[in-house]
Structure 1
Amino acid sequence: MQLYNNLSNEERAALIAEAGKERLTISFYKYAKIGNPELFRNNLFIKWNALDVLGRIYVATEGINAQLSVPADHFKAFKKHLDSISFLENVRLNIAIEHDNFSFLKLKIKVRNKIVADGLNDDTFDVTNKGVHVNAKKFNELIEDPNTVLVDMRNHYESEIGHFKNAITPDVDTFRESLDLIEEDLREHKEDKKLVMYCTGGIRCEKASAYYKHKGFKNVFQLEGGIINYVRQIEAEGLENKFIGKNFVFDERRSERISDDVIANCHQCGEPADLHTNCANEACHLLFIQCDSCKSKMDNCCSTNCQEIIKLPYKEQKELRKGQGNSNDIFKKGRADHLPYKKDLRNIFETLKK
C-alpha cells in the first residue's frame, strides 16, 4: 500500500483548482506517549490521504505536531477520526485566520525524535509541570502589569514581521537557542517578575514553561493556543488587539495579517515590507523579506548572482547544483551578508539590565 505522495506540487495545485472546493488550514499539537510512532504514522497517512488531507505532520514518542489543510466538506469526517484516537479526542484545533486552498500541496507525515526541536533532555525535568494557560482576556491584563516580562518564543524572522507590543523578541535562529538565552538574561527576575510567553500555536510554550519552572521561575504563564487562538478570541469577544503586524506561519501563505502595521523592511532596499519570499534559485532558497518592487526587479531572487543562475537553462542549473549541499545562508533566514537591510543583531535585554 502506498504510504507516500506521488504527485508534484504543480499536479496537486491543478487538482485543487479543478475541484474548486474550499479547504480549511488547521494546526494542532498534543504531547502524549506513543508506543509505536511508525505504525501510528502509517495509520494516519492511510486515513488522512483518503480524506484528501494535505500538510506537514511530525510524530514522535512524545506526541504529534500537525499543520494541515482539510477539504471543508471532509472536516466532520476528519474530526470524527481525531476523536476516535483517545489522546486526540477534543484536541484544540487552531483554524487559520486567513484561508488559502493552496496552503499545503502534499501530505507529509514524518517520524521524528521530537515534535519540536528543543534540544532538551526531557528526563532531567518534569515536562508535565507546565505554566498557567491564559486566555486572550487574561493575557491582555497580564501584559499591562509592570511586573510582567513578556517573551516571544519564536525565532527572529517570525517576530520581525509581527509581535505583541512591548514583547522581548530574542534574536535567535532556532527555538533551542532561545531557551538558555532567556533563562540566563532573566536570572535576576525569577521570583519578582511574571514570565509570560507566547508563540504561534502554543506548542513551543508547552515545553518552555515546564523548563523555566524547573529552572526556578516562580510565576510562569503561557498564551493558550498561541497567536492564532488569541486573534480568534479578541474578534469573538471584542477585546483590544495588542498584536502588531503579521503572524508568520509555516505553510505556503507564510503569514497572516493581524493588524495593518508594517513593522519590517525589505532586506534589499530598506522600504517598509513584511512579505517573506524564498529565493527563486533552487540552490539558494534563502528566506528573506522582499518588497514588490524588488521582487519584480530581482525576479524573486536574493542577489544578482542568483538572478543570473535562474536565467540559465534548467539543465545547466541542475548541473551547477550537482554535488552541492544547500548554501549555509538558507539557515540564516534573512541574515545573509549580501542583504544590506537584514535585521541587525542586538541585545534585547538591555532595558531589563538597566
Structure 2
Amino acid sequence: MDPNAGKKNLVNRYSREELEARLMAEDFKRITVSFYRYVILDDPQAMRDRLYQEWTELNCLGRIYVAREGINAQMNVPEQNWEQFVKELHAKEEFKDIPFKIAVEDDGKSFLKLVIKVRDRIVADGLADDHYDVTNVGTHLDAESWNQALEEGAIVVDMRNHYESEIGHFENSILPQAETFREELPEVLEKLKGKESDKILLYCTGGIRCEKTSAFLKHHGFTDVNQLHGGIIDYARQIKTKELPNKFHGKNFVFDERLGESISHEVISHCHQCGEPCDVHVNCANVACNLLFIQCPTCAEKYDKCCSEECMEVQHLSAEEQKELRKGKKSQKRFHSHRRWGDLHPETKS
C-alpha cells in the first residue's frame, strides 16, 4: 500500500496563474483573519493534516504555522463558511475560544492558496526551549489603556522588522532596525538596558511577537512589561468602535498579498527610488533578486517594476537566459548580498 495514500491531497498543486484566476472568478466575499495561541501540541503534524483537510473542505486560503508550542495563522475564509469555521476550530480543546483579529482593509484577495507548515517555532527566536518561560507574559492593554500609557510617557517599542515600521508606527516608538525577530530580541534588550524598572509598552501586528518578547524581557528582570492586546490590527478596530484617538501613524504592514492596510491614511514613508511620498511595498520583478522595497507608480513604470537598472536588464532577458543566470552561488551572491534597500542604495536611505 502506498504510504502516502490519503496525504496526496494535503498540499496545493495549482500554479499561481490558476490560483489567481480561480480567486478572481469567485462571486462571494472572504473574511481575512489572523490568530495565534501558545499551547503545547503533542503531535503538530497530525494537527496540521487535520486542519488542512477541514479548511480545504471550507475553501479556506492562507499561511499557517503549526509547532509544538502552538499555532500562528493568517488566512481568509469564505463568508458563508465563517460560522462553521469558528465552530470547528473552537471545538478543539487546544484552540477553544481562541481570539480572532479581523483585517482592517479587506478585498478578500489576501491569499491565493492554503499552506500549513509544521515548524520548530511559530515565531523563530533562535533560543533554546528552556531559555525562558514563554507563558510568563506581560500585561495586555486595550486601546484605551494603551493610549493613556503613551500619553503618560511610557517607553514604547515596535517589535516588528524595519521594513514594517518604516511605513507605519506609533508615535515616539523605538524602531529596531532588525531584519528578523531573532535579531530583534537582543537589539531591543540592549536598547532598554538600564530601564528594567520603567513602564515598557510592546506592540506588533497581531500580538504574537509581543507575547514572546514580554516573557523574554521579564526573564531579564524587567518588572513593568505591557503589550498591546490584539496588536495593531485589533487596535484599529477598537479605536473605530470606541471612537478613541488614533496614536498610530501610517500603514500596517501585513504578510499577505495586500502587503499593507491603512490605519491613519497618512503616508509617512517614501519611494526608495525617487524619494516621493509612498507606502507601497513591492518585490523586485527580477525573481533572482526579489528585494522587498517601496516603489511609487512612476518608478514602477520607469524601472519595469525592478529595484535597479541591473535587475531591469535581467528582467528583459529570455526565460532561459534568466534561468541560467540564477544557477549557482555566484547568482545568489550577486542578487542576495543586499537584503535592505538602504544597503543597496545608501544615497536614498532616509
Structure 1 contact 268–339 (Cα < 8 Å) conserved: no
CA distance in 2, matches of 1:122, 1:209: 16
Residue in structure 1 matched with residue 179 of structure 2 by the alignment: 173
Q: Quote how far apart the aligned CAs of 1:17 are.
A: 1.8
2:189 counterpart (153, 159, 183): 183
Residue in structure 2 matched with residue 261 of structure 1 by the alignment: 266
The runs of at least 4 aligned residues of structure 1 exceeding 4 Å deviation read: 324-328
1:125 counterpart (129, 132, 143): 132
CA distance in 2, matches of 1:331, 1:101: 33
2:222 counterpart (217, 222, 225): 217
Residue in structure 2 matched with residue 203 of structure 1 by the alignment: 208
Give the alignment of 1:225-264 within 5 angstroms.
225-264=230-269
Q: Does residue 300 in structure 1 map to residue 314 in structure 2?
A: no
Residue in structure 1 matched with residue 149 of structure 2 by the alignment: 142
Residue in structure 1 matched with residue 53 of structure 2 by the alignment: 46
Q: Which amino acid aligns with 1:246?
A: K
Residue in structure 2 matched with residue 157 of structure 1 by the alignment: 163
Q: Quote how far apart the aligned CAs of 1:87 are.
A: 1.9
* Structure 2 unaligned spans of 5+: 1-5
* Structure 1 unaligned spans of 5+: 344-354
Residue in structure 2 matched with residue 69 of structure 1 by the alignment: 76
Equivalent pairs, count? 341
Residue in structure 1 matched with residue 277 of structure 2 by the alignment: 272
Q: Quote how far apart the aligned CAs of 1:340 are.
A: 3.7
Residue in structure 1 matched with residue 85 of structure 2 by the alignment: 78
Residue in structure 2 matched with residue 94 of structure 1 by the alignment: 101
CA distance in 1, matches of 2:337, 2:275: 21
Structure 1 contact 266–341 (Cα < 8 Å) conserved: no
Q: Which amino acid aligns with 2:298?
A: S
CA distance in 1, matches of 2:230, 2:83: 21
Q: Quote how far apart the aligned CAs of 1:280 are.
A: 0.4
Structure 1 contact 157–334 (Cα < 8 Å) conserved: no
CA distance in 2, matches of 1:74, 1:330: 44
Pairwise CA RMSD: 1.5
CA distance in 1, matches of 2:346, 2:325: 23
Q: Which amino acid aligns with 1:279?
A: C
SS of 1:123's equivalent in the other structure is coil
> Normalising by structure 1, what TM-score?
0.93
Flag the 1:318–1:56 CA change in 2: closer, same or farther, 3 A: same
Q: Quote how far apart the aligned CAs of 1:331 are.
A: 7.2
CA distance in 2, matches of 1:197, 1:292: 34
